[in-house]
Amino acid sequence: MNHLFYLLSDPMLIVECDESRWSISDVNQAFVVFSGFKKSDLMLLDPSLIISTDEHTLSFDRVIHLLSDESACSPTLECKLITKASVPADIRMTCRKLQIGERTVYVLICKDMREAKWVDEYITHKKIMVSSIINERYSIMSLKHYYAPVQQPSSSYVNKSIFELVADHDQSKLKRALEYAKNNRTEEAVDFQLQLGDRHYSSEAVIQPFYNGNRSFKNFVVILTSLHVNNQDEDPSYKLRMLMLSKNISVTSLAQSTLISLTTISKIRNGKIKKPQRLTAELIAGELGVRPETIWSSFKR
């Protein structure tokens, strides 16, 4: 069999029929991981025991012949794959019929649909703004926006780290939530400041981890349930961060030059202190070369 079969990331298996009995003649590593079974165990299994459809009257033999019908236009079927953990996984299956000498074999290609199904189920009950799939390295594998006021095309975010879109002071919070969801196999909620293009947002998110049949981690689905454009005229922490960035002044250097504690500067910069004392505000603003009301509109002369 072509070596590409073993290298492709989609779970694939090769089945053939001998005297009305179906058997598995080969699988790639992606299918081993996805199913959770060892390759040697899979080779002994009747594929109809682990692959089925919601239509109970549709036999495995009928499924294969429907999918391999050359007169049909790229037929697919939504099926269930029973993993080693006895958990049914939603898959979309396609088939390629091959002739190898006198043998007729069928290459079954399985597309994992669990993440998409989970998002579809969630969106039937609640309005969501953005859905994304994040891999174990925190890279964005896909992103789709629904009602979100997002200007950039979804493809512009693919392969970026999720943390590139998150405000510095919220990156550790998001990472802790992702790790907790992964390690505890549970859904988690978290809020953080997000930047998409040239706009800044306050967002609320739900994180759902997904796993392979061998119980190894697969990826996260992160959906944004709330996304509000920050009003920069009313967000002093944002204005302070932008001023510090434009003047290349760090939290540490600002604390040293104003003699204000590092903790206080950090809390003001992160928005945990909304309105500092006037002297504190004047010292910070003076060091940045602006008046206090430029940052904190509540300070009126």
pLDDT in tens, 111-156: 999 999 999 999 998 889 899 999 999 999 999 988 766 667 888 8
Does the structure show a pLDDT above 90 at 70? no
Q: Quick one: average pLDDT of 232-247?
A: 78
Regarding whether 102 and 151 lie in a shared domain, the answer is no
Regarding whether 103 and 152 lie in a shared domain, the answer is no
Does the structure show a pLDDT above 90 at 210? yes
């058997």: which residue's tokens? 23
Q: Of 67, 84, 112, which one is at a domain's C-terminal end?
A: 112
pLDDT band at 2 (very low <50, low <70, confident <90, very high): low
Regarding whether 174 and 71 lie in a shared domain, the answer is no
Regarding whether 65 and 91 lie in a shared domain, the answer is yes
Regarding whether 31 and 102 lie in a shared domain, the answer is yes
pLDDT at 72: 66
Regarding whether 194 and 253 lie in a shared domain, the answer is no
- Whether 293 contacts 300, CB under 8 Å: yes
- Whether 105 contacts 16, CB under 8 Å: yes
Model confidence pTM above 0.75: no
- N residues, the chain: 301
CA 264/CA 249 separation, integer angstroms: 16
Number of domains into which the chain is organized: 3
Regarding whether 209 and 173 lie in a shared domain, the answer is yes
Q: Quick one: average pLDDT of 178-185?
A: 97
* CATH code of the domain containing 41: 3.30.450.20
Q: Quick one: average pLDDT of 65-76?
A: 81
Does the structure show a pLDDT above 60 at 233? no
Domain that holds residue 36: 4-112
Residue 301 falls within a domain, yes or no? no
CA 46/CA 195 separation, integer angstroms: 50
User: CA 291, 167, 251: angle at the middle one, nearest 5?
Assistant: 50
Rg (CA), the chain: 27
Regarding whether 86 and 169 lie in a shared domain, the answer is no
